[in-house]
Amino acid sequence: MGEQARTHRTHWINGKPWTGEASVRGDIYNPATGQVSGTVDYAGRAEVDAAVAAASAALPGWRETSLTRRAAVMFAFRELVRLRAADLAALITAEHGKVASDAAGEVARGLEVVDFACGIPHLLKGGYSENVSAGVDAYSIRQPVGVVAGITPFNFPAMVPMWMFPVALACGNTFVLKPSEKDPSASLLLAELLAEAGLPDGAFNVVHGGKTAVDALLEHPDVRALSFVGSTPIARYVYETGTAHGKRVQALGGAKNHMVVLPDADLDLAADAAVNAGFGSAGERCMAISVVVAVDPVGDELVGRISERVAGLQVGPGDDEGSQMGPLVTAAHRDKVASYLDSGVADGASLAVDGRGHRVTGGEPGGFWLGPSVLDHVTPGMRCYTDEIFGPVLSVVRAPSYAAALQVVNDNPYGNGTAIFTNDGGAARRFTHEVEVGMVGVNVPIPVPMAFYSFGGWKASLFGDTHVHGTEGVHFYTRGKAVTSRWLDPSHGGVNLGFPVNQ
Ligand code: NAD
């Protein structure tokens, strides 16, 4: 690809592209070709300061904008995203590599949060109690936090930012987004559409880059709250650093999601689900199933059915309609994921399907390809089990009983998503009650909550108290205030210096 065809991406500050000269830039790759397709400016402290200053300047006006007007901007944004959904999806495929249907699905799931945010007048309603004491009324209100920041991962360059900013903006905050430097373009189209929808300049800003930009946001005194989604070590760092700087932080981390298959399950349904949830988006989903826990005696039969299906998957470029699985995001990530196949075998697992030999249909040889693989007889001590692989490798753990399977899931340090496959309602109910995981599916392999519920895991998958979007998102982006009010009438009882009590 010639220099001419390359795109160049820069920050979006105060309602327009940044016009400065960046001292650091990164390459953007097309994972299906392995070629550099563009460059992106990396923010230093000065650019982050400029974005936060723009958000601070926009805050008083946006915070005081009426609820109905803020909702109207969200409604307009919703229509614009729907109109441009195909363009957004194409940008995602070009930089992330995921197949077109997956990219379109990501946009659709992000839009559900915009739908939710359109209802903000209802969501911000407080409570009111008349006559809590004689002639005294009490009520509660929720107010925006201020300037808030979002730091997002490469694997959902549109949806994860949309978990955050629609709710934050609708609540009256202003926003600085730091998307993944690997696929920065979708966030810029979203910024343009917000401006077109009538959001005032400065209310939504985008800064690109890596650790320097993140650290500048974490330490900035004018950033009041910060939402993060990414890997567990960085989530922990962001949580600890952000809270040490006095910020409210929600930091969602990595995952190792287990799908328990009980002996009475429909094995064809379970095999289809394991393949869809294990290899969709090349396994680069925080809700991907990475471990199937097969309860005896279904292991051999289940692995056979999964392996048959995996062999038939079409791997190829995301913009080819026939492709079911695209490339991985970078060469380094592809190599790291592939290394778990060797380490798994060295640790005693058996390689039921080796994706390194999988045919790639229509792809260029330089693309970051790795076919789908299945590692069987994995045990919890193995490195392929303890690490989050985040790629198209499905591990199968054999368990002698329901209790043993549950223990495998609960002993894992992550707690993002899980699923159980069974036809026994009692067993499913017991599992949903006993499992220590934040999002649970019953015969549903990827139980991503709808926007009006909240998304988030337990244990090492989430640092902080609130999950994202839904009513927990509204809580995260607002502060509660309780007001007690008395309008004196001529019969009031005079001065009383005691502690207020209800009489
Ligand atoms: P990552 O942790 O490498 O990066 C996430 C963000 O942090 C990016 O914006 C990146 O620029 C920034 N970052 C990277 N290194 C940093 C550092 N040293 N200091 C400060 N900031 C840094 O994650 P990724 O590879 O982009 O995304 C994949 C990970 O995200 C997986 O672990 C996956 O499970 C997780 N994820 C979790 C969820 C969830 O909801 N829990 C959702 C999506 C992805």
| Residue 210, ligand 1, Cβ within 6 A | yes
Cα of first residue to Cα of last residue in the chain, in angstroms, is 79
CA distance 142 to 31: 44
- Nearest residue (by CA) to ligand 1, atom 19, is 211
Give the model's pLDDT for residue 496. Answer: 74
Cα-Cα-Cα-Cα dihedral of 237, 235, 461, 170, to 10°? 130
How many angstroms does the Cα of residue 252 sit away from the middle of ligand 1? 9
pLDDT for residue 47? 98
Instruction: Determine the Cα–Cα distance for residues 257 and 286; give it in Å rounded to an integer.
Output: 8
The answer to whether the CB of 31 is under 6 A from ligand 1 is no
Q: What is the DSSP string of 320-360?
A: STT-SB---S-HHHHHHHHHHHHHHHHTT-EEEE-GGG--B
Shortest-distance Cα residue to atom 43 of ligand 1: 286
**Does the CB atom of residue 43 touch ligand 1 within 6 A?**
no
**What pLDDT score does 3 carry?**
43
- From 221, 237, 258, 235, select the one nearest 385 (Cα to Cα): 258
The closest residue, in CA terms, to atom 26 on ligand 1 is 153
In angstroms, the CA 37 to CA 40 distance is 10
Specify burial of residue 298 (Cβ count, 10 A radius: 0-12, 13-18, 19+). buried
Verify whether ligand 1 is closer than 6 Å to residue 234 (CB atom).
yes
pLDDT at res. 460: 98
What is the pLDDT at residue 365? 94
Q: Which H or E run contains 42?
A: strand 35-42
Secondary structure (3-state) at 207:
coil
* pTM, 2 dp: 0.96
Q: What residues of the chain score a pLDDT lower than 50?
A: 1-4
Separation of CA 151 from chain center: 10
How far is the C-alpha of 431 from the C-alpha of 418, rounded, in Å?
10
Q: Which residues contact 314 (CB under 8 A, 6 or more apart)?
A: 322, 323, 324, 325, 361
Give the mean pLDDT of the chain.
96
> What single letter denotes the amino acid at residue 346?
A
- pLDDT of res. 492: 62
Cα(159) to ligand 1 centroid in Å equals 14
Whether the CB-CB separation of 401 and 380 falls below 8 Å is answered with no
Ligand 1 binding pocket mutation candidate from 98, 226, 229 (most atoms within 8 A of CB): 229
Backbone angles phi, psi at 195, to 5 degrees: -65, -45
Specify the CATH architecture of the domain 3-253+469-483: 3-Layer(aba) Sandwich (3.40)
Residue ranges of domains in the chain: 3-253+469-483, 257-442
How far, in Å, from the CA of 78 to the mean position of ligand 1? 27
Q: Which residues are catalytic?
A: 286
* Cβ neighbours around 224 below 10 Å, total: 19
Amino acid found at 56: S
CATH level 3 topology of 257-442: Aldehyde Dehydrogenase; Chain A, domain 2 (3.40.309)
pLDDT score recorded for residue 501: 78
Neighbours of 106 (CB within 10 A): 27
Collapsing DSSP to helix, strand or coil, 425 comes out as: helix
Distance separating alpha carbons of residues 118 and 330, to the nearest angstrom: 36
